Structure 1
Amino acid sequence: MLHVQVVLFDGFDLLDAVAPYEVFCAAEMLADYEMQVEFVSAEGPRLVPSGGKGVNIEATGRLNPTRKGIILVPGASGELEGDGPNAIPTILSRAMNTELTVKLKHALALPDLTVATVCGGSLVLAMGGLLDGRPAVTNHLGMELLGATGAIPVHARVVDDGNLVTGGGVTSGLDVALYLVERELGPQVAHAVERLFEYERRGTTWRKSGIPLRAEMAVGVSGVGGARDVTVVDSADAERAAVTVESSFDGTWDATIATPIGKLAVQLHISTINGLIQGQAIQGDEVSPFIAPILKGSTLCWSQRVTKPMRLNLNFEVAVSGDVMTGSAKAGILPASKLTAIRI
């Protein structure tokens, strides 16, 4: 028997969870109960409030990351912008910082278990560092953030990467579930569910198979990549990055970045070598070099890959007045984090 665990966390999106649940329930009935589906949470049986209006759904079990079958993670419902407690990025970050991430990491290491996501569910995994180098999709509003975590964004309705199947926006939960029913139980059962629901699965499921596209066509046509890229330096920017004297940014800076999950202490080392600005950031035992630092007027911009507090590609913009630096760090739809620093 194939077991399906639909994960609930505080602030989950109702449609992300309920639509696949109904598809799996219908498949369970039509396939003579060869499939069993239940709502679970990482913490165990409890009433779990959804986002938005806060409708409660009961999780009847604890997520078991070793149970053969499918684990499906929904996205969140809340405010689209800002860093308040009800903002979607905040809800996803809270879910990522629970034991859910550890359990999903364990599940992804098992060959006979598939982890599926709907909408922002892939961001829960990505922000936890579980999708580095893997093709995936999320809601179109989160594709830039998905790429910033090191995942490979694919602009498709459903993306199949073996034991990882991800879906796009909210209604793609139907398509993810129907695709998994067909993959695991066969097309006859999937077709019967489609007829019952009077819904036909949308789009082509993207997989790493078949004849590859020509390299120059891959990004524009297949929709792979793009959002993962860090800042691109054009020729004009490269000229601005070159300086002939020590820049006002040179030195060692004790910086504080105010993120939605707390303040981070970082030390920045910036220097001008052979006319080019270079730098690195040190946080604890992690050293991250600046990527493509460029001067835009009086503002220094660079990208940087970090793993703490989560795996992200951050874009920085800072300015200096004397020995004081101010600016921001941002990744995708996450709210910009304020940066302040003092030269030491």
Structure 2
Amino acid sequence: MTTPIQIGLLVFPNMTQLDLTGPLQVFAAVPQFVPDPGAEIHLIWKDLTPVSTDAVMVITPTVTFADCPQLDVICIPGGYGTDALIEDQEVLDFVRRQAEGARYVTSVCTGALVLGAAGLLKGYRAATHWTAMDMLGAFGAIPTHERVVVDRNRVTGGGVTAGIDFALTLVGEMFDHPTAESVQLRLEYDPHPPFNAGSPATAPADVLARYEELIAPNKVRRREAVARAATNLAG
């Protein structure tokens, strides 16, 4: 019997729950197909107080920064809550410490900005949500318009639903393709979206314009936070 793979996902206020719960469902299925070594999953935050997400759901952390074991995989989900994290030195210090010993340093959606603010994406190709893609360069990352990007031991997923693709890709990297395919089959992950509006390249022009107008104030705030975080990192 070997030691289970340690997988940790950060939880934090105002996160996008699907950024976490999509990959979590994939990772939770791994022991069914790979009982040895299997996987232990940790939901990590500063304390064990339940955390509110952006979609009613409340998520309870299972371990604190102080008690978290060394992880084989550290994953940072996204959401508007990342705007605060990229300037939170306690969070960034924890992510840096874990990244030193982790086999894979990963993110979903705007979680990539947290990796960037921690100095972990400089010179790496990376994906994030399309609305934040142009902000990755502030941290020395190479913005890459792909659903999942693997660059050495950095694995980053695009926006929200890409978290499932990201996690399946990572399972294929850590174990093998048949294991990832078995998990995919278990989840019946066979998407056929009812509309072709899932990216700015395919969304109708009026839908894209309306959404960009809606998020414009948040994007300004995020860009300002990224600029401050990049300055802190450089200093």
TM-score range (shorter-chain normalised) is 0.7 to 0.9
Select the structure that is richer in helix. Answer: 2
* Pairing of 1:179-198 with structure 2 (within 5 A): 179-198=169-188
* Pairing of 1:100-179 with structure 2 (within 5 A): 100-110=91-101, 112-179=102-169
The 1:113–1:100 alpha-carbon spacing in structure 2 relative to 1, beyond 3 Å, is farther
TM-score (norm 1): 0.52
Query: Aligned to 2:13, which of 7, 10, 21?
Result: 10
* SS across alignment from 2:131: helix
Q: Can you give the 5+ residue segments of structure 2 that lack an aligned partner in the other structure?
A: 192-219
* Pairing of 1:240-255 with structure 2 (within 5 A): none
Aligned pair count?
199
* SS across alignment from 1:177: helix
Amino acid aligned to 2:91 = L
Query: Aligned to 2:59, which of 57, 60, 63?
Result: 57
* SS across alignment from 1:99: helix
1:4: how far off?
Answer: 0.9
The 1:37–1:173 alpha-carbon spacing in structure 2 relative to 1, beyond 3 Å, is farther
Q: Can you give the 5+ residue segments of structure 1 that lack an aligned partner in the other structure?
A: 77-87, 202-258, 264-303, 312-344
CA separation in 2, counterparts of 1:155 and 1:13? 20
1:309: how far off?
Answer: 3.8
1:107: how far off?
Answer: 2.5
Select the structure that is richer in strand. Answer: 1
- 1:158-191 CA-partner distances (Å, limit 9, x unpaired): 1112221100111111011111111112122111
* Pairing of 1:331-342 with structure 2 (within 5 A): none
* Pairing of 1:234-313 with structure 2 (within 5 A): 307-310=230-233
Larger radius of gyration: 1
Amino acid aligned to 1:49 = S
CA separation in 2, counterparts of 1:131 and 1:22? 26
- 1:84-140 CA-partner distances (Å, limit 9, x unpaired): xxxx2xx22312214221121122223x52111001110112133332222111011
* Pairing of 1:14-25 with structure 2 (within 5 A): 14-25=17-28
The 1:148–1:192 alpha-carbon spacing in structure 2 relative to 1, beyond 3 Å, is same
CA RMSD of aligned residues (A): 2.8
* SS across alignment from 1:46: coil
TM-score (norm 2): 0.75
